[in-house]
Amino acid sequence: MRITALLPLFLLLAWPLSAQKVLQLEKYGSARTTKIFIGDPITYKLRGSETFNSGYIENIRLEDSLLVLADRYIHVYDITTLRYERAWPRVAGKSLFWFGSAWSGFAAVGFTFDGDPDTNYRWADAIVTLSSWGLSFAIPKLFGHKDIRIGKRRRLRLLDMRWKVEDWEK
């Protein structure tokens, strides 16, 4: 009974919510898609260019197939590669750095305050620290981003999921 009474209330509250325009990345043969919304950052490479550009999507013009960025318009069909920044390499790099620091720090503190003449700071402790520090700088450089090529298996689509077009957009 309560659910049937609350359902019209939720529908009434959800009515003014509007859907949005999105840039959707699709993979052939997969139902899973990635949606990029207005306001999201995008890093891309254009056809005929060797460098990556980036910016925030300010608007999507469906009738012209354009992405509106702060200082330029981009035709969707000219985008050949999208680049995504990954979070896990930065996290792994920081964790490895602090692991190496802690390993060397605890070994040095143990050597200093142990009182046992047989224990000392060994080369193995320094090797663990230095290899951990080296990996902490190499992993984010090697695995920090993922490049997705647009072509045979992947494509970009502009979608309008709004209920109605506003009067000022006509």
Distance of CA 150 to the CA centre of its chain: 17
pLDDT at 130 over 60: yes
Q: How far apart are CA 141 and CA 135, in angstroms?
A: 10
Average pLDDT (11-19) is 63
Q: How far apart are CA 82 and CA 65, in angstroms?
A: 17
How does residue 79 score in pLDDT terms, banded at 50, 70 and 90?
very high
Average pLDDT (7-17) is 68
Give residue 138's pLDDT: 96
Nearest C-alpha neighbor of 158 from the set 42, 65, 48: 65
pLDDT at 5 over 60: yes
Give residue 116's pLDDT: 77
Give residue 16's pLDDT: 56
Q: Is 115 left (phi over 0), alpha (psi -120 to 50) or beta?
A: left
